[in-house]
Each structure stands twice: as structure tokens, then as C-alpha cells.
Amino acid sequence: MKTRHVISILALLLASAGCDRYLDKYPHNAVSSDLITAEDAELLMNGVYNIAQYKPTFNGWALFDLIGGDLIRTGASGVNTPKLLVEMAIAPDQSMVTSPWNGYYAGLYQINTYINTIEGLPESQDKDEFLGVGHFLRGLYYYNIVARWRDVPVVLGNETEDVGQTPEAEAWEFVASELLKAVECSADFHDRHYVSSQAAKALLARTYLAMGRKAEAAQLAEEVIADPHFALADFTDIFRGADNREEIFTFANLIQEGSVNMSFYYYTKESPVGGGYNFCPTQEAMDMYSHQDRRRSISVDIQGSNNVLNKYCSGDAGLDPLYIIRLSEMYLISAEGRGLSGGLDRLNELRAFRGLPAVHPESEEDFLDAVLEERRLELFGEGFRWFDLVRTGRYEDTVGLDARYTVLPIPSRELTLNKKLKQHPLWATETQ
């Protein structure tokens, strides 16, 4: 009985996202938690890790970079600037918008199912840790959704009715509440491929920064920096698979689990490992690394005559991890959160580790510019640039686009299917 029941739940969690409607995908009573044991829950947890990494698709994980101003399309006549890439790719019916929306909400159905199922277990430490995984992943998903679409449906169950939008400020509070639960429930760090209390704390620091709660963000970042589990590491160790203490949370992204093949889109066939080469760094992005910057050769490279983003190097094989949280981000969050007087030492500490001289900005504005430039260098290709520019009010001037591109449009199909959804005003037309 138990085996048949577990198999049915795993089938549900691993079901493909084939329905038309992404807020109404499966019957709300498809799973009963009556017979679930701790052993079953561990199987479900492994399944939800698998789902969480591949449901957003390449577009979901790469989107902040693709529209952040440092990448262009390759081989596309007339689409050889970041501005043109964004204008052609960001629209209510374009896959760069629709596939992440669909993937995140399809994944959320399954994450919600997991959380609701685990809540039926008897109280225990195992139950808490299983729930910590679910709340962390739900917080991570909603962080990405709210950052992109702002006013969004917050779905906690398996709703069959139309769901309206939660205002952006409330949605951010929900993200923070999920991560606070994950901090409290999750296990202590033991492996970068598993959710930990420290990973939840780090993601909460990122969330508080997005919310403008800078002092709280800096405090949490400092707690993670002080944790003896972690230390800064060389880029070669991080991005070429060596043991290191810098990765706080990374999806293993094994190809047999439905790999999101980052390298295929960035690597070229001129490389020995091949690649599709859909996107490449701008020349400005290639040139932003000085020769003494120890990150340079791992971040960008030239294959044949082609510029490549070099952090994901497996080409057609598609074996690259998805780097979600690293310790260096905590240095930069602490620096930004504490401002010039309190944060400059953290900024320069990271720069020194990467082989760069100290900077000496004279004003808060200059200091923020320095922090953002360091984030650009450190986190290139890891999903930060667009939102860094948006949340600091620099996107329009930096990329040369109007305000509508500081938020993504809700997909047209979702507006048709869910009558409670409204298009963001920056994207709304007179006929809507």
C-alpha cells in the first residue's frame, strides 16, 4: 500500500507541465498525506529538488543576464546590441517571458503539494527539515517571480479558481516570511547541493536588500560571512568543479534530471566541447575585466574568434551546476547595506581576494556605483545584473531603454485564462 501511494505522489511531482493554464493545473485533492512516512517524505524531497532546478527552463535562470545589458544574440542580423535584444525578446507573447512564468508556476504547484503533504507528518526534526526545503524553494521561486513581474498571484495550494494579484510590497513580505520559516526549520549546512539554514539566511539577506531593508540585509550577510562553514574561493575551484567553501547553495543540475544546459546557449561549436552559441558577452563586458582580475579567464574567454561566457564550460554535454548563492554575494550585500562608512572594507576585502586594488569612493553615490560594478564583475552570468540595475533605478540610463522594460509583462495567454489578472500599467494597452 505504502509503495503504491508513494509512486503515485512521485508521479504527480514529476508530471510534465502540459496544461494550458499554469495557475490551475491539477485537481486540488490529487494527494492525500494520510499514509506518508518520513521515508516517503525523503523520496518526495529528492523529487522536489529535481523539479525546482529545471522547471524555470534556461530562460528562467538566465533571464536577469539576458536582459541586463551585457549580452547580445549571436549571428542575428540587426540584433547586435543589448537594447535590440531586449526589445525583440521582451513582449507578452515571447518565450523569454512566457516560459519562465509557466515554469515557475508549474513548479510552484508541485512545491506547494510537497509542503502541504509534509505538513501531514507527525511533529519531528525530520518534518521540520523537510519543510525547510519546501519553504526555501518556494521563497526562491517567488523571489524571482516578484522581482520580474511585481504584482503577482501568490498561490499556496492547488487552486482551481482564478487567482488575483498580490501587491508587490505584500508579495515581498511573503517571500521574506517563507525564508524566515526556512531559516528556522532547515538543517545546518553540510553540502552545497542541499538547502540549509545558512542558505535560507543568505537568500533572506538578498530579499531584504530588494525590499530596501539594508541594515537587516547587511546583518544577515555578516552572520553568513562569519559562519565557519564558508570562505572565499578561487574562481577555478568554484566553476571547474573542485571542492570549495564558497558555494552556499548550488543545484547540481545533473543531465539525467532534466538539465538546464547553460553552456549550450553560451558556448560555441568552435570549442572542443561544442555548444549552440545563442548569446555572447558584449565587447564592453569582455573588456570590463582587467588583466590582474583573477576572475577574468573563468568569466569570459575567446573560443576561436567568438566571445563566450566561460563560467559554464561543458558545451553540448550540459553538466554545469546552477549557482544560486555564493559567499561573495554576502560580502557585496554587507557592503551595500552598510554604505560607504561601514561597507567599504568588505568591498575592498573581496577586491583584494580577486587580485584588484582598493577603491576609494568619496560619496555614497560613488560607493554604490563601485558596489554595483563589483557585483557586475563577480556575478556575471549568474542571474543578477538586470535586477541590480532595476532596483537601483539605473536600468533605463544604462541600457538605453524606457521604463516598461523595468518590469516584465504578464503573458497574454494568462490574461485570457485568468480574468482576475491585470497587465502591468507599463505594458497595458488602450484595449485592455
107-119 pLDDT, tens digit each: 999 999 999 999 9
Tell me the backbone φ, ψ of residue 369, rounded to 5 degrees: -60, -40
- Other CB atoms within a 10 A radius of the CB of residue 353 amount to 15
Residues sharing a CB contact under 8 Å with residue 21, sequence separation 6 or more, in sequence order:
417, 418
Query: Is residue 394 classed exposed, middle or buried when 0-12, 13-18 and 19+ CB atoms within 10 A define those classes?
Result: middle
Instruction: Please name which of 54, 48, 51, 148 lies closest in space to residue 101, comparing C-alpha atoms.
Output: 148
Per-residue model confidence as pLDDT tens digits over 19-39: 334 444 333 333 455 678 878
Three-class DSSP category at 239: helix
Instruction: Please name which of 389, 357, 360 lies closest in space to residue 372, comparing C-alpha atoms.
Output: 389
Largest CA distance in the chain: 69
In this structure, are residues 380 and 312 in contact, taking their beta carbons and an 8 Å threshold?
Answer: no
Query: Could you tell me the CA-to-CA distances from 343 to 206, 221, 339 in Å, in that order?
Result: 16, 12, 5
**Cell digits for 37?**
512516512
Q: Burial letters for 155-189: b for 16+ Cβ neighbours within 10 Å, e otherwise?
A: beebeeeebebbebeebbebbbebbbbbbebbbeb
Report the C-alpha gap between 127 and 186 in whole angstroms: 10
Predicted pLDDT of residue 23 = 46
**Cell digits for 1?**
500500500
DSSP string, 342-372: HHHHHHHHHHHHTT------SSHHHHHHHHH
Residue type, 66: L
Q: How far is CA 289 from the centre of its chain?
A: 24
Report the C-alpha gap between 289 and 378 in whole angstroms: 10
Predicted pLDDT of residue 9 = 46
In this structure, are residues 317 and 264 in contact, taking their beta carbons and an 8 Å threshold?
Answer: no
Query: For the chain, which domains are there?
Result: 1-27+36-186 (1.25.40.390), 253-320 (no CATH)
- What percentage of the chain exceeds 70 in pLDDT? 90
- What percentage of the chain exceeds 90 in pLDDT? 85
Instruction: Please name which of 207, 295, 312 lies closest in space to residue 251, comparing C-alpha atoms.
Output: 312
**Using 50, 70 and 90 to split pLDDT, how confident is the model at 76?**
low
Per-residue model confidence as pLDDT tens digits over 316-355: 999 899 999 999 999 999 999 999 999 999 999 999 999 9
**Cell digits for 297?**
579567464
Three-class DSSP category at 89: helix
Per-residue model confidence as pLDDT tens digits over 358-368: 999 999 999 99
Per-residue model confidence as pLDDT tens digits over 148-190: 999 999 999 877 789 999 999 999 999 999 999 999 999 999 9
Residue type, 244: N
Give me the mean pLDDT over the 383-399 stretch: 98
